[in-house]
């Protein structure tokens, strides 16, 4: 993701459609999307956007991840994390941590998905998100993650928990010189 310092005014961008297209342009050449299989992979997409193919010098996301900044990932899905090609929860976690120099203390991860199947939850239906939950649990073990069940609603409570985790991570954060 390539960001520029915003102009001092609050006017809408004249290139908003192109800017959004650029931000959302993740390489999908290895995806197996067919029919109703849309391979939702919010955590994997976040990791890919931070890797050299997208974030290296001269690439679209160059400069997005800075050594003096905490990385906060919000992964929300009404299905499950379905990396293409398939990766384990540990591999997804490792990719995200590697994006911050291998230091999990530089990452906070909020996973939002269904704990069980809910055909009519507060935000619509959701399928169990076991892999996303497993990724989130790896961050929780390091006091850098929060899981919120999409089916139970009240997302503001999950976001409040995430903010507390972010605040703690910020207090412990040591920038890379």
Residue 159 lies in domain: 42-172
Q: Kind of pairing, strands 71-76 and 107-113?
A: parallel
Is position 57 within any domain? yes
To the nearest whole number, what is the mean pLDDT of the chain?
83
Is position 64 within any domain? yes
Instruction: Report the domain count for the chain.
Output: 1
CA distance 135 to 46: 13
Is position 67 within any domain? yes
- The residue with greater pLDDT, 102 or 68, is 102
Q: Kind of pairing, strands 124-126 and 118-121?
A: antiparallel
| Count, residues in the chain | 177
pLDDT digits (tens, 9 = 90+) for 33-51: 454 556 799 999 999 999 9
CA distance 22 to 59: 11
Residues 6 or more apart in contact with residue 63 via CB below 8 angstroms: 2, 3
Is position 88 within any domain? yes
Is position 158 within any domain? yes
- The residue with greater pLDDT, 62 or 175, is 62
Predicted local distance difference test score (pLDDT) of residue 56: 86
State the pTM of this model. Answer: 0.79
């Amino acid at each position: 993701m390539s960001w520029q310092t915003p102009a001092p005014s609050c006017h809408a961008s004249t290139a908003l459609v192109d800017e959004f297209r650029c931000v959302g342009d993740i390489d999908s050449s290895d995806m197996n999307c067919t029919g109703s299989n849309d391979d939702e992979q919010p955590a994997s997409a976040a990791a890919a956007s931070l890797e050299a193919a997208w974030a290296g010098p001269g690439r679209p996301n160059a400069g997005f991840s800075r050594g003096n900044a905490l990385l906060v990932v919000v992964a929300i899905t009404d299905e499950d994390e379905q990396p293409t090609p398939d990766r384990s929860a540990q591999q997804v976690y490792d990719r995200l941590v590697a994006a911050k120099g291998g230091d999990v203390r530089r990452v906070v991860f909020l996973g939002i998905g269904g704990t069980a199947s809910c055909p009519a939850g507060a935000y619509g239906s959701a399928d169990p998100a076991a892999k996303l939950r497993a990724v989130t649990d790896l961050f929780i073990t390091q006091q850098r993650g929060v899981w919120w069940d999409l089916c139970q609603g009240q997302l503001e409570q999950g976001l409040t928990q995430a903010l507390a985790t972010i605040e703690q991570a910020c207090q412990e954060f040591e920038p890379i010189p």
